Structure 1
Amino acid sequence: MSLIQVKQLTFAYEGSYDNIFDDVSFNIDTDWKLGFTGRNGRGKTTFLNLLMGSYEYRGSITARVQFEIFPFHIANKGANVLDVIGDIYPDYVHWELMRELSLLKVSEDVLYRPFETLSNGEQTKVMLAALFLKENRFLLIDEPTNHLDMEGRQQVGQYLSMKSGFILVSHDRAFLDQCVDHILSINKTNIEITKGNFSDWWEQKRRQDQYELAENDKLKRDIGRLAQAAERTSRWSDAVEKTKNGTLNSGLKVDKGYVGHKAAKMMKRSKNLEHRQQAAIEEKSALLKNIETSESLKLSQLSYHKSRLAELDHVTIQYGDKAVCTDVSFTIEKGDRITLSGRNGSGKSSILKLICGEEIPYSGTFRIGSRLKISYVSQDTSHLQGTLTDYAKAQGIDESLFKAILRKLDFSRIQFEKDMSSFSGGQKKKVLISKSLCEQAHLHIWDEPLNFIDVISRMQIEQLLQEYNPTILFVEHDREFCRHIATKTVRL
């Protein structure tokens, strides 16, 4: 066991408007299984790169271990997997490699295939196996679940639960619960470390937020009451002071010493009330700094004139000699929230594209309602570039509504001035989802919409779909999201 010590860390990208980290300090035990969470754009991947020495920064990071980051950059993806692993770690021992692959449920034959022919999930597992072969390393694992299906996530989660000495960036709640024992959270104003898994951290945060909200309400009432009392006392003091130069009703002269003493007491009481009020205001200002605003979103879906929107009856999709899915049958009825589930490569995206009107080779019966308007969110965000304003115009959506939804999904106004190509992966996915929420459609089709998107935004989107009950067909490997949202599951 040793410590990674971060002291007074300050960092901003060159030309940036604001600091990503500002004088933050904390310690990490190298034996921890550390989950790393926070809103998109808060600096999770940046922090991993700072540990790797990729950028210059102010402050200090000291450690007795070396850092290794996942995913690796594979220069020659056409090479056999065994050669790729040799490039990553030339000193590996073969039996140790086979042990790691066995734990990840990867068969030995993949070692002799070109790396580029492996599925995304197989590539992830191979790189994780190579990563954990390295000794005396603290491992930085950046979003390994994005290309894993549910079964793959379960296997990798089980694998990581047997390991230690890593930081894991993931937004999958069930996955984090499975394999971490501490949470490092980037909040609005600070960085905190909490013992336990994600659910433990979330419950603790929820209680803290509720306590601060209750304290905030109480202090608001106290400030109002103290302000009224101070004003009333000040008026009394002024009134008493004015009698110093007057006479009593009986015609006798006023005792100026007594009146002055009384006015001074009133003034002192007024000042004490002001001090108490200021203290209450300062105490109130210390609250609510890390409460994540998650305003509810709004969706206005068009109403279709028929109850059934689409139907697939014994549909098989085949590319050349390869059938990606066979004998698929289901209907999409108004109000359905359907999740397509299955392993990677089972044809989920092909089914979505067929319904969206792409030229997909199929046999069987496929019917879709006439003049059905569909809003589609694809997995790919690589095409996003230019300003949000230009993008809204090109997509024919209301710019004000589009940006309002992005604001609710934690976009700062500064982001509106940047080129979309500089956005994080999660921010790009939020652009696609916000565009979809702005579109007038009868059916929403979303293909892995939550890749890279932070946990709080996922919960917002869950709340939206539960509240407005749109007709939606989606592919998503986040178990918690599917459990909360899907009214029907179609397994391929």
Structure 2
Amino acid sequence: MSLINVNNLTFAYEGSFDNIFENVSFQIDTDWKLGFTGRNGRGKTTFLNLLLGKYEYSGKITAHVSFEYFPFQVENKENQTLDIIQDMVPDYQLWELMRELSLLQVSEDVLYRPFETLSNGEQTKVMLAALFLKENSFLLIDEPTNHLDMHARELVSDYLHSKSGYILVSHDRAFLDNCVDHILSINRTNIEVQKGNFSDWWENKQRQDNYELAENEKLKKDIKRLSDAAKRTSNWSDAVEKTKNGTLNSGLKVDKGYIGHKAAKMMQRSKSIEKRQQSAIDDKSKLLKNIENQDSLKIAQLAYHKNQMAELEKVSIHYGEKLVCSDINFTIEQGERIALAGKNGSGKSSILKLICGEDIDHTGTFRKGSQLKISYVSQDTSHLKGNLTDFARDSGIDESLFKSILRKLDFSRVQFEKDISAFSGGQKKKVLIAKSLCEKVHLHIWDEPLNFIDVISRMQIEELLLEHSPTILFVEHDREFCNNIATKIVEL
């Protein structure tokens, strides 16, 4: 056991006026299993790169371990997997590697295949197995779930549960809950470390947020009451002071000393009230700094003229000689929220593209309602570039509504000036979802929409789908999201 100490860390990218981290200090134990959470664009990957020594910063980071980053950058993917592992861990023992692969249910034959022929899930498992063989190292695991189906996520989560000594960036709540014992959270104004899993952290955060909101309301009322009292007392003091130069009804002069003393006491009382008021204002300024924006989203889906929108009957999809999936049967009816489930490679994306109208080689019967309007969110964000204003115009959507949705999904106004290609993976996905929410359609089709998207935004999207009940067909490997949203699950 040793400690990683972060003291007064301050960092901004070159040419930027905004610090990503400012005087941040905390310490973590190298035996912990740390879940790393925070909204998109807050600097999670940046912090991992600072630990790796990739950028210059002010402050101090001290550690008696070496840091290893996942995903490992593989240079020659055409090489055999065994050679890739040799590059990653030159002094590994084969029996130890086989033990790790066995825990992840990876067959031995993958070692003797070119790395590029492995599926994304197999590549993830192989890299994790190899990195955990490194001695005296602390793993920085950056979003390993994005290419894993639900079954693989459970396997990898159980594997990480059996390990220690890592920081894990993931937005999958069930995945985090199973395999972490501490949470490192990047909040709006600070970084905190808490003991427990994600659900423990979220419960504590909600409790703290609710306390601060209640305290804020109480202080607002106190400040108004004290402000009114201070004004009244000050007015009384002025009124009394003005009588000093008057005369009594009997014609005798007033006692200026007595009146002056009385006015001074009232003024002192007024100052005391103002002091209490300032104290309440100071207390209020300490609140709500880490309350996250969770404004509700809206979707205006068009009503379709028929209840049934599409039907697949004994549909099979082929790519050349390869059969991707066979005998698929289901219907899409208005108001249904259908989750398309199955392992990677089982044909989920192909089914979505077929329904969207792409020319997919298939047999069986596929019927789609006439004049059915569909909004599609793809897995791929690599095509996104240019500014948001041009993107909204080219997409034929309302720019102000589009940007309003992005603001609710935690985009800062500074972000609106940047090129979309410079956005984080999660921010790019939010651009596609915001576009989809702006489109006036009958049916939404989303292919793994939550990849890279932060947990709080996932909850906002959940609330949107539950409140407005749009017709949606989606593929998503986040178990919590599927359990909360789907009215029907179609297993491939």
CA distance in 1, matches of 2:111, 2:316: 32
Residues 124-146 of structure 1: CA distance to partner in whole angstroms, max 9, x if unpaired? 00110111010100110000000
Matched, 1:20 2:15: no
Residues 1:92 and 2:92 are matched in the alignment:
yes
Deviations 1:270-321 (A, max 9, x none): 0000000011001001000000011001110111101100000111111122
Using the TM superposition, give the Cα deviation of residue 245 of structure 1 relative to its aligned residue in structure 2, in angstroms.
0.7
Match of 1:45 in 2: 45
Q: Give the aligned partner of residue 417 of structure 2.
A: 417
Task: Tell me how far apart the structure 2 counterparts of residues 204 and 99 of structure 1 sit (CA, whole Å).
Answer: 38
- Looking at structure 2, the residues matched to 430 and 15 of structure 1 have their Cα atoms a distance apart, in angstroms, of 25
- Counterparts of 1:183-194 in structure 2, within 5 Å, are 183-194=183-194
- Following the alignment from structure 1 to structure 2, what is the Cα–Cα distance between the partners of residues 463 and 344? 27
- 1:35 is paired with a residue whose SS is strand
User: Counterpart in 1 of 2:259?
Assistant: 259
Which residue is equivalent to 1:102? 102
Instruction: State how 1:54-73 maps to structure 2 within 5 Å.
Output: 54-73=54-73
Tell me the equivalent position of 2:387: 387
1:332 and 2:302 aligned: no
Question: Which residue of the partner structure matches residue 115 of structure 1?
Answer: 115
- The answer as to 2:206 corresponding to 1:206 is yes
Which amino acid letter does the alignment assign opposite residue 189 of structure 1?
A: T
* Cα distance between partner residues in 2 of 1:432 and 1:292: 22
**2:400 partner letter:** S
28-37 vs 386-395, which moves further:
386-395
Counterpart amino acid of residue 57 in structure 1: Y
What's the RMSD between the two structures over aligned residues?
0.7
SS in 1 for 2:327: strand
CA–CA distance in structure 1, aligned partners of residues 425 and 238 of structure 2: 63
**Aligned partners of 2:465, 2:251: CA distance in 1, in Å?**
79
Cα distance in 2 for residues equivalent to 1:382 and 1:329: 32
Distance in structure 1 (CA, Å) of the matches to 2:247 and 2:487: 84
In the alignment, what sits opposite 2:8? 8
What one-letter code is carried by the residue in structure 1 that aligns with 2:448?
E
Structure 1 equivalent of residue 146 of structure 2:
146
TM-superposition CA deviations, 1:153-208 (whole Å, max 9, x none): 00000000000000000000000000000000000000000000000000000000
Mapped to 1, the partners of 2:125 and 2:402 lie a distance apart of 38
Aligned residues: 492
Q: Give the corresponding residue for 2:378.
A: 378
Q: Secondary structure at the match of 2:273?
A: helix
SS at match of 1:158: helix
Tell me the distance in 2 between the aligned counterparts of 1:376 and 1:252.
Answer: 91
Residue 169 (structure 1) aligns with: 169
Give the match's secondary structure for 1:406.
helix
Distance in structure 2 (CA, Å) of the matches to 1:61 and 1:444: 46
Structure 2, unmatched stretches of 5+, are: none
* 1:485 and 2:485 matched: yes
Map 1:438-457 → 2, pairs under 5 A: 438-457=438-457
Percent of aligned positions with the same letter in both sequences?
A: 77
Q: Which amino acid aligns with 2:438?
A: C
**CA distance, structure 2, for counterparts of residue 201 and residue 334 of structure 1:** 37
* Partners of 1:421 and 1:17 in 2: CA distance: 20
Residue of structure 1 in register with 2:343 after alignment? 343
Offset of residue 87 of structure 1: 1.4
Counterpart Cα distance in 2 of 1:25 and 1:280: 28
What is the aligned partner in structure 2 of residue 398 from structure 1? 398
CA distance in 1, matches of 2:390, 2:458: 26
Residue 132 (structure 2) aligns with: 132
Post-superposition shift, 1:80? 1.4
Name the CA distance, whole Å, in 1 between partners of 2:351 and 2:248. 95
Q: Distance in 2 between matches of 1:325 and 1:78?
A: 28
- Which residue in the other structure is 2:428 paired with? 428
Q: Establish whether residue 369 from structure 1 lines up as the match of residue 369 from structure 2.
A: yes
Q: With the length of structure 1 as denominator, give the TM-score of the two structures.
A: 0.99
SS of 2:216 mapped into structure 1: helix
Shift of 1:89: 1.2
**Secondary structure, in 3 states, of the residue corresponding to 1:302?**
coil
In structure 1, list runs of 5 or more residues that go unmatched: none
Partner of 1:83: 83
What letter matches 1:438 in structure 2? C
1:328-371 Cα shifts (integer Å, max 9, x gaps): 10000000000001100110000000000001011111000111
Using the TM superposition, give the Cα deviation of residue 92 of structure 1 relative to its aligned residue in structure 2, in angstroms: 1.0
Give distance in 2, aligned partners of 1:16 and 1:438. 31
Q: Displacement, 1:83?
A: 1.2
Query: What amino acid maps onto 1:356 in structure 2?
Result: C
Q: CA deviation at 1:248?
A: 2.2
Aligned to 1:179: 179
* Higher deviation after alignment, 81-90 or 247-256: 247-256
Aligned mates of 1:250, 1:169 — CA distance in 2: 85
